[in-house]
C-alpha cells in the first residue's frame, strides 16, 4: 500500500512543481513506483517540467467526470517505466474537482504505487483543499524569504487541522552568498519559527531552470547541487538518515565564524 | 408585614445614605415600604443630590426589578444611586467571573493567520509567529517567542500586562492602547513585559522584575474580585 504525500507551500513560485517533479524522479531512480498528480487545474505545469506535455490525452477532470478510466489518463514517463503522471486539466471547469473525487483517485492509486506525490496549487482555497484531501503526509516548501516563510506558517497551521501527519519542511532556493552576507534568512531561523522537522535544503541552482526548460527534471542529472539535494531528500523520505548536504559545510567556515562571534557578544 | 420589623433601614454615613433592605419579604412589599419611606422623609429640593448605597442582602434582583428600584428612588427624591450591592449572583455570572479570573494554559504554536482568544489570563506554552494573534481579557504570558500580535485586557482592563520569554512582537495592544514594532529591524528582548504607563499614556516594555513592582497585585485574587 502506497503513501500519498502532498507538496504545498501557500505562496506561489517557491518551487512546488519543481520539487514534485524532482522528488518523483529521485524516488523513481531508487526503483520506487511513483505517481505524480498535478492538481493545479487551469495552470498545469508539472507535465511541462517532466517533458510529457505532448502525451496528454485525458486529464484528472476527465477521470472525475467519467470520460475515461484512471488507467487511461495516467501518462508513463519517458525515462522510467514505473513513474507516472496524472495531469491537471487545462480548460475544463475546475469546480468539477472535489475533495471527495481526489480521495477516490488517491485511494485507487495507492495499491498500485509506492508513492503518490500530489502537486498542490498556490493559495489556500478550493485547490488546496482538493490537493490535501487524499494525502497521508505533507511536505511544505519554502524559500528563505519572509513572505514565503509567512505563508508556509499559515499553511502549516491549516495542515494541522487536517488528518495528516505533522508536515515536513523543504527550504528551497538557498543562495549561498546571500545567506553568508546575512541578506537571506538562515535555515535554522526558518526551522525555529515554523517549528516542524526539516526534510532537506536545496540550493538555488541555474541547472534547475535549464532542466525545466528541457523538460527533464534536474534530479535526473547526477552531478548538480540541486540534483544531489533532491536525491538526499528522496532518501530521507525512504527513511534513510542522510546528513544535511555538504552544502552546510560549504557555507561553513565563514558563517560559522560569524555565528560564533554573534553568539559570544 | 410581620409585626413592626422594618423592611428598610436607612443609615446616614459620610458617603451619603445606606439603605439596608430586608431580603425575606417579597419585592412588592419592599417597593411599597420604600415608597412610603421616601414620601415621609422629604428632602428640601434646594439641597444637592445625595448619594445612596443600597444593600440588598441575600436578594437577587432581575434587571427589570433593579430598573424599577432605581426609578423609584431617583424620581421621588433628590437622590443618586451610587451602588447596589447584593450578596448573591447567578450561577451564570459566577461562571463568567470564574472564567475572567482563571489562567488558561494553552500549548500550541499560534501561526500566521490564526487567532487565539481566551477569557481571563492566557499562559501560552509555545510561540506566536508573525501574523498570528493572541488576545485575552486579562494578562498574557507567553512561554516562547512572541513575534505576532498580543492584545491583553481586551475588554478595557488597562492594568493588564503582556510578558514573553522572547519578545519581538509586530504589535502590542493593551485595552485601547496600541504600540508597534519600530520600522527598522530590531532584535527582540528576553524576559520582558509590556504594560501601560499611566503618566506617559502609552505601552512601555520593561524588565519583568520592574513590572512586578509596579503591578504587585498581578496574580492576587483580590484584584480579580475588584475587577469582577
Which residues, 6+ apart, have CB-to-CB distance to B178 below 8 Å?
A: B171, B172, B203
The order of strands in the sheet holding A83-86 is: A75-76, A83-86, A34-38, A115-119, A3-8, A137-142, A168-174, A197-203
Residues A179, A194 contacting (CB under 8 angstroms): no
A44–chain B nearest CA distance, Å? 28
The order of strands in the sheet holding B189-197 is: B103-106, B121-125, B140-146, B162-167, B189-197, B202-207
Confidence of residue B197 (pLDDT cuts 50, 70, 90): confident
- Measured CA to CA, the distance from residue B147 to residue B26 in angstroms comes to 57
The full set of domain ranges for chain A reads 3-264
| Residue B13, helix vs strand vs coil | strand
| One domain for residues B204 and B112 | yes
Residues facing B128 on adjacent strands? B110, B146
B112 contacts A157? CB cut-off 8 A: yes
Residues A136, A24 contacting (CB under 8 angstroms): no
Q: Give the model confidence (pLDDT) of B198-219 as tens digits.
A: 888 899 888 888 888 888 777 6
Number of domains in chain B: 2
| One domain for residues B31 and B102 | no
What one-character DSSP code corresponds to residue B61?
P
| One domain for residues B125 and B188 | yes
Kindly report the CATH number assigned to the domain that includes residue B16. 3.30.750
| One domain for residues B70 and B125 | no
Residues facing A211 on adjacent strands? none
Confidence of residue B1 (pLDDT cuts 50, 70, 90): very low
Q: Give the model confidence (pLDDT) of B43-95 as tens digits.
A: 666 667 778 888 888 888 888 888 888 888 887 777 888 888 888 888 888 88
Cell of residue A193, nine digits? 519559527
Write phi, then psi, for A141 (nearest 5 degrees).
-100, 135
Would B222 be classed as within a structural domain? yes
- Looking at the predicted structure, is the pLDDT value of residue B109 above 90? yes
| Residue A154 near chain B (CB below 8 Å) | yes
- Measured CA to CA, the distance from residue A200 to residue A244 in angstroms comes to 7
Would B80 be classed as within a structural domain? yes
Would B195 be classed as within a structural domain? yes
Would B3 be classed as within a structural domain? no
| One domain for residues B205 and B107 | yes
**Among the listed residues A188, A180, A119, A192, the one whose alpha carbon sits nearest the alpha carbon of residue A153:** A192
| One domain for residues B132 and B99 | yes
In A, residues 52-111, which contact B (CB 8 Å cutoff)?
none
Residues A120, A127 contacting (CB under 8 angstroms): yes
10 Å Cβ neighbour count for A143? Answer: 25
What one-character DSSP code corresponds to residue A240?
-
Cell of residue A103, nine digits? 480521495
| One domain for residues B123 and B212 | yes
A187 is in an annotated binding site: no
| One domain for residues B61 and B139 | no
From B113, B114, B129, residue closest to A193, measured CB to CB: B129
| One domain for residues B58 and B12 | yes
Please give the CATH number for the structural domain made up of A3-264: 3.40.50.300
Q: Which helix or strand (DSSP H or E) is residue A81 part of?
A: none
- Measured CA to CA, the distance from residue A201 to residue A141 in angstroms comes to 10
In A, residues 159-178, which contact B (CB 8 Å cutoff)?
160
What local confidence, expressed as pLDDT, does residue A49 receive? 93
Looking at B66, B85, B104, which one is the last position of a domain?
B85
Task: Determine which of A48-62, A232-246, B106-120, B130-144 has the lowest per-residue pLDDT on average.
Answer: A232-246
Kindly report the CATH number assigned to the domain that includes residue B156. 2.160.20.70
> pTM for this one?
0.76
- Please compute the mean of the pLDDT values over residues B14-42 and round it to a whole number: 83
**Among the listed residues B220, B217, B173, B176, the one whose alpha carbon sits nearest the alpha carbon of residue B194:** B173
CA dihedral A211, A215, A221, A224 (to 10 degrees): 20
| One domain for residues B51 and B99 | no
ipTM for the assembly: 0.75
B193–chain A nearest CA distance, Å? 21
- Measured CA to CA, the distance from residue A107 to residue A3 in angstroms comes to 10
Would B50 be classed as within a structural domain? yes
Give the residue ranges of chain A where pLDDT is below 70: 246-265
| Residue A193 near chain B (CB below 8 Å) | yes
From B114, B127, B131, residue closest to A150, measured CB to CB: B131
Range(s) of the domain holding residue B220: 94-227
| Residue B188 near chain A (CB below 8 Å) | no
Q: Give the model confidence (pLDDT) of A53-84 as tens digits.
A: 999 999 999 999 999 999 999 999 999 999 99
Looking at B85, B120, B149, which one is the last position of a domain?
B85
Looking at B85, B109, B141, which one is the last position of a domain?
B85
Would B131 be classed as within a structural domain? yes
Residues B195, B214 contacting (CB under 8 angstroms): yes
| One domain for residues B137 and B222 | yes
| One domain for residues B120 and B219 | yes
Residues A198, A187 contacting (CB under 8 angstroms): yes
**Among the listed residues A69, A71, A134, the one whose alpha carbon sits nearest the alpha carbon of residue A97:** A134
CA distances for B161 relative to A205, B171, B195, B198, angstroms: 48, 14, 5, 13
Would B1 be classed as within a structural domain? no
Amino acid at each position: 500500500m502506497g503513501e500519498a504525500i502532498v507538496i504545498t507551500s501557500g505562496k506561489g513560485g517557491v518551487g512546488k512543481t519543481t520539487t514534485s517533479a524532482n522528488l518523483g524522479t529521485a524516488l523513481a531512480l531508487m526503483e520506487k513506483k511513483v505517481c505524480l498528480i498535478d492538481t493545479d487545474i487551469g495552470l498545469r505545469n508539472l507535465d511541462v517540467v517532466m517533458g510529457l506535455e505532448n502525451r496528454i490525452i485525458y486529464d484528472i477532470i476527465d477521470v472525475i467526470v467519467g470520460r475515461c478510466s484512471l488507467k487511461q489518463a495516467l501518462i508513463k514517463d519517458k525515462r522510467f517505466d514505473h513513474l507516472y503522471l496524472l495531469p491537471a486539466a487545462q480548460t475544463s471547469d475546475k469546480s468539477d474537482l472535489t475533495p471527495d473525487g481526489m480521495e477516490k483517485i488517491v485511494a485507487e492509486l495507492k495499491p498500485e504505487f509506492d508513492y503518490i506525490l500530489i502537486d498542490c496549487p498556490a493559495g489556500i482555497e478550493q485547490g488546496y483543499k482538493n490537493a490535501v484531501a487524499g494525502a497521508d503526509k505533507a511536505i511544505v516548501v519554502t524559500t528563505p524569504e519572509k513572505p514565503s516563510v509567512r505563508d508556509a506558517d499559515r499553511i502549516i497551521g491549516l495542515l494541522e487541522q487536517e488528518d495528516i501527519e505533522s508536515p515536513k519542511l523543504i527550504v528551497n532556493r538557498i543562495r549561498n552568498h546571500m545567506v553568508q552576507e546575512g541578506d537571506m534568512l538562515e535555515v535554522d531561523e526558518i526551522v525555529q519559527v515554523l517549528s516542524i522537522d526539516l526534510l532537506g535544503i536545496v540550493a538555488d541552482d541555474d541547472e534547475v531552470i535549464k532542466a525545466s526548460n528541457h523538460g527533464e527534471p534536474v534530479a535526473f542529472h547526477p552531478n548538480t547541487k540541486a540534483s544531489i539535494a533532491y536525491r538526499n531528500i528522496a532518501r530521507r523520505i525512504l527513511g534513510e538518515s542522510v546528513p544535511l548536504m555538504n552544502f552546510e559545510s560549504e557555507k561553513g567556515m565563514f558563517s560559522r565564524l560569524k555565528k560564533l562571534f554573534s553568539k559570544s557578544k | 408585614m410581620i409585626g413592626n420589623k422594618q423592611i428598610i433601614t436607612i443609615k446616614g454615613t459620610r458617603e451619603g445614605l445606606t439603605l439596608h433592605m430586608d431580603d425575606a419579604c417579597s419585592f412588592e412589599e419592599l417597593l411599597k415600604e420604600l415608597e412610603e419611606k421616601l414620601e415621609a422623609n422629604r428632602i428640601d429640593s434646594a439641597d444637592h443630590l445625595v448619594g445612596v448605597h443600597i444593600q440588598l442582602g441575600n436578594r437577587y434582583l432581575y434587571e427589570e426589578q433593579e430598573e424599577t428600584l432605581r426609578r423609584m428612588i431617583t424620581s421621588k427624591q433628590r437622590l443618586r444611586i451610587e451602588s447596589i450591592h447584593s450578596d448573591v449572583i447567578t450561577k451564570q455570572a459566577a461562571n463568567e467571573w470564574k472564567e475572567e479570573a482563571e489562567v488558561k494554559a494553552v500549548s500550541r504554536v499560534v501561526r500566521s493567520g490564526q487567532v487565539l482568544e481566551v477569557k481571563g489570563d492566557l499562559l501560552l506554552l509555545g510561540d506566536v509567529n508573525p501574523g498570528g494573534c493572541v488576545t485575552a481579557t486579562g494578562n498574557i504570558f507567553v512561554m516562547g517567542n512572541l513575534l505576532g500580535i498580543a492584545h491583553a485586557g481586551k475588554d478595557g482592563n488597562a492594568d493588564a500586562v503582556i510578558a514573553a520569554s522572547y519578545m519581538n512582537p509586530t504589535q502590542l495592544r493593551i485595552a485601547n492602547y496600541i504600540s508597534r514594532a519600530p520600522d527598522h529591524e530590531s532584535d527582540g528582548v528576553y524576559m520582558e513585559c509590556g504594560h501601560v504607563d499611566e503618566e506617559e499614556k502609552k505601552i512601555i516594555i520593561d524588565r519583568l522584575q520592574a513590572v512586578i513592582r509596579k503591578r504587585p497585585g498581578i496574580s492576587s485574587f483580590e484584584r480579580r474580585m475588584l475587577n469582577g
